[in-house]
A = this chain, B = another copy of it.
Amino acid sequence: SRAIIPAKIKAGRVQRPESLFAIMDYTSYFSRDVKCMQYSAIRRMAGLTLQSGIISFAGGAPSAATFPVAEIKRIADSILELDGQAALQYGLTLGFSGLIEAVVDCSLKRKIPGVTSSHVAITSGSQQALDLIGRIFIDPGDVVFFELPSYVGGIAAFRNLQAKLVGVRQADGGIDLEDLISKIEECKQLGHRAKIIYVIPNFQNPTGITLSLEKRKALLELAERFHLLVVEDDPYGEVCFDAGLMDQLIPIKSMDREGHVIYLSTFSKILSPGLRTGWVVASQPIIEKIDLTKQTSDLCGSMLDQRIVAECWKRGIIQENLPSLRDFYRSKCQVMLRAMEAYMPPDICWTRPAGGLFVWVTLPDHLDSEKILGMALEQEKVAYVVGQPFHVNDKGRNTLRLAFSKESEDNIGLGIQKLARVFRNHLE
């Protein structure tokens, strides 16, 4: 099974290779892990949705209009002026001390008690945090529970480590705890090893749903009772449209008495995602394992990025930017929701998020959002992301995600009108 057949022979004809590259067949060399990996359907379609003239509700990135570019420029300038050599040298694996301090400060503001620098790891976006946590805890076959639907990057991180992914129903107030219990019991009966519950409690990607305070408490109790860890992924908590709601967004981590909760967040949605700075707040033994794993993953993150973000926090730029950032997304969300009320045909349902970047749409069962996307792009030049890849159980073909972050308010209204027309055509 190790025979290596040059592609040109295999193809049955002799031809001059275009370059010296890629002649051999690597199939027998690849690891089992990499053979499990899949190209994301969302990424496959990304090319289409980026064509010019398309109104796109597809991409999940925050709007670049919210980045405080001028302030970041001034800060980068002063860092390179005053401390250039240190900012360009290697740094500590767990992160730049100034940024760790910022995260400690931020965690206390988010009401997580007792956080010190020894409970923090800075990562290259929360995506790296997900990957490192997967590597620390997951052996092939271990079970991770996901909300139905959930974040594709979280799903992929655990799937790539050969975890067994189990979906749990989600309702208005978040994950369905009855269903979670029955899935946990089922795992036990099957002899599977349940390890992690992955939740995005605030304005979830992709649904915009927020986990209720009661369910946060109950989820933690379940984790304790069944000896599970909770990965609490919170990139959107600060992108809250209703100041009165903030009191309900208590992190699960803030109630964690035994260390079951691993809290992740990021500066990506509230400052800049290109500056790769996410973080983990967890018990020290977990932070130590992150240190070990991150050492061989990348030695350390970008030192310039970390210093810029730390200085943005220190000078209050992130904090002061929040009210206008919330207004910005609230207004876009309202335009989208109003247009949907006005134009969407009956039998189509959608969420009304109180924060974040996304609205989730459910079409009648018999419709396939992937097929409809083709027509939406071709006939109306409007794009969204199909809902199936957000489901670990292969369901959700009648669902889709709309991001209101990218387009102008005028385009949001226009795009929803177009989309409503496409859906109406399929319902008639």
Measured CB to CB, the residues of A under 8 A from B are: 2, 4, 6, 18-24, 26, 29-34, 37-40, 43, 61, 64-65, 67, 69-70, 72-73, 76-77, 80-81, 84-91, 113-116, 119, 123-125, 127-128, 130-131, 135-139, 142, 153, 156-157, 160, 195, 227, 229, 256-260, 268, 272-276, 282-286, 289, 292-293, 295-305, 308
Contacts and interface: CB of A to CB of B under 8 A. Distances in A.
B153 A4 contact: no
B2 A227 contact: yes
Contact of A4 (B67, B114, B227, B303): B227
Contact of A136 (B34, B77, B113, B229): B34
Given A6-B258, A259-B22, A283-B26, A73 B77 contact: yes
Contacts of A39: 292
Nearest to A22: B283
A112 to B, nearest CB: 8
Nearest to A226: B2
Contact of A31 (B70, B139, B157): B139
Given A20-B257, A72-B80, A88-B274, 7 more contacts: A20-B113, A21-B119, A26-B285, A37-B289, A130-B296, A131-B296, A298-B298
Q: What copy number does this chain have within its complex?
A: 2
A89 B227 CA distance: 39
A140 to B, nearest CB: 9
Contacts of A292: 34, 37-39, 160
A20 B72 contact: no
B296 A156 contact: yes
B227 A21 contact: no
A65 B138 CA distance: 43
Contacts of A89: 61, 64, 67, 272-274
Given A135-B31, A296-B131, A85 B113 contact: no
A259 B302 contact: no
Contacts of A26: 259, 283, 285-286
A72 B303 CA distance: 14
A369 to B, nearest CB: 22
A94 to B, nearest CB: 12
Contacts of A308: 304
A256 to B, nearest CB: 6
B258 A276 contact: no
